[in-house]
Amino acid sequence: MRRLILILAIMLAPLTSSAIAQVNEVRIGYLRTPPPREALSLIDLPAENDGLAGAELAVADNNTTGRFLKQAFLIEETRLADGEDPSQAVTAMADRGISFVIADLDPDLLLKTAAAAQGRGILLFNVGAADDRLREEDCRANVIHVAPTRSMLADALAQYLVFKKWRKWFLVVGSHPKDVLYGDALRRAAKRFGAQIVEERIFEDTGGARQTDSGVAQVQRKIAVFTQSVPAYDVLVAADESEVFAAYMPFRTWDARPVAGSAGLVPTSWHASHNQWAALQMQSRFQKRFSRFMTARDIQAWSAVRMVGESATRTASTDPQTITRYLKSPDFSLAAFKGQKLTLRDWNLQLRQPILLADGRMVVSVSPQEGFLHQVSELDTLGFDRPETKCKLK
């Protein structure tokens, strides 16, 4: 017993200076713009380290395994100011030996960053942008997409609604461009899985304060009038990524109907209440370290960093090209507390993953739903499949 304890003590002891000299480092960058500080609900305000915290936890997880292979993982954050060109930041990261960058950027800035990274040996991991075009007509060979697409989220929701036989939808779409894109994804999902949109309305953002002292009474009347005189429907589906109206819909509609989409039953890559498949252990470690709940952006950043770590472990190498080849190979997979291993779609570099459906307090279900079959992977029933893709990796 004493010998076993001694062996464990030696294995877990801090590295000596001579051992440190033999460690091979993997430097990972985290590139982002300042996080948004607005939300309709105060409890939804993003933390300052939203996303970054997930990446830091993954670095710690990588190092737990990496120390036995003499691999060390480091994370370095770089923030871009509003309107700043990413070229200089990419050059600086490349000069510091960073070959993998977690990119928490909007779609246009991500494409600029991909162009700047091309030829510098940098592989980007998109953890924030849900736009399908980034995986389709605007796909890039040096960008792996960890964040699920709008089509994946919409398909996940549609499968559950169809499973419940809630096939008649009242679709409400916001007036901002990203609301329109989500609305497009929901229309596609409805057609794909046999739902019917019986009525569609646009909720115009007229500006003004999001929250006022008299807002409760005003919203209560406005939402009721807005949702009046709709043909018989089973569920109101809201596309409101701009967070203008959807959070006000539940319990305020004219007819007593459930709400889904951007409020009510929401499709997401992660939720604080998720506790299946050892997720409770993950949630506990995150809460202990950061004193808050883990978010979808956190798990996406965690997954990206773990993808690098898993590939380094499997190849017993810290060479960026070796890691990248393994990442893009059929042999790659990642365990991520979602009931099945995540893999990469080789036609557009999108990470396959189950989607949680949460009501704000609990996970209601997980898609893909039972009965939605696929000849390769049931996960490919979510989002654009190989025969549908417009991606030509370059």
Output the average pLDDT for the chain: 92
Question: pLDDT (tens digit, 9 = 90+) per residue, 46-63?
Answer: 899 999 999 999 999 999
pLDDT score of 4 more than 70? no
For residue 312, the one-letter residue type is A
pLDDT score of 165 more than 50? yes
Please tell me the predicted confidence (pLDDT) of residue 215.
58
Please tell me the predicted confidence (pLDDT) of residue 136.
97
pLDDT score of 209 more than 80? no
Spatial distance between the Cα atoms of 154 and 317, rounded to a whole number of angstroms? 38
Please tell me the predicted confidence (pLDDT) of residue 42.
82
* Mean pLDDT, rounded, for 328-344: 97
Under 8 Å CB-to-CB from 200, ≥6 apart: which residues?
A: 170, 171, 172, 173
238 or 11: which leads in pLDDT: 238
> What CATH number has the domain spanning 151-268?
3.40.50.2300
Ordered DSSP codes for 38-49? --SSGGGPPPTT
DSSP-derived 3-state class of residue 257: coil
* Mean pLDDT, rounded, for 119-135: 97
Spans of all domains in the chain: 2-148+275-353, 151-268
CA-based max dimension of the chain: 78
pLDDT band at 83 (very low <50, low <70, confident <90, very high): confident
Under 8 Å CB-to-CB from 383, ≥6 apart: which residues?
A: 132, 135, 148, 149, 151, 152, 155, 350
* Topology at the third CATH level for domain 2-148+275-353: Rossmann fold (3.40.50)
Question: pLDDT (tens digit, 9 = 90+) per residue, 249-264?
Answer: 999 999 999 999 999 9
Question: pLDDT (tens digit, 9 = 90+) per residue, 349-381?
Answer: 999 999 999 999 999 999 999 999 999 999 999
* Mean pLDDT, rounded, for 285-310: 98
pLDDT score of 18 more than 70? no
pLDDT score of 19 more than 70? no
Please answer whether residues 74 and 59 qualify as being in contact, where contact means their C-beta atoms are separated by less than 8 angstroms.
yes
Closest CA to 183 of 192, 196, 194, 172: 172
Of 201-210, 236-245, 281-290, 363-372, the least confident: 201-210
Please tell me the predicted confidence (pLDDT) of residue 208.
60
List the helix and strand counts (H, then E) for the chain.
Answer: 11, 12
pLDDT score of 327 more than 90? yes
Spatial distance between the Cα atoms of 163 and 103, rounded to a whole number of angstroms? 35
pLDDT band at 45 (very low <50, low <70, confident <90, very high): confident
- Which structure tokens are listed for 98? 């960073």
pLDDT score of 125 more than 80? yes
Please answer whether residues 262 and 240 qualify as being in contact, where contact means their C-beta atoms are separated by less than 8 angstroms.
yes
* Mean pLDDT, rounded, for 108-125: 96
* Mean pLDDT, rounded, for 81-100: 94
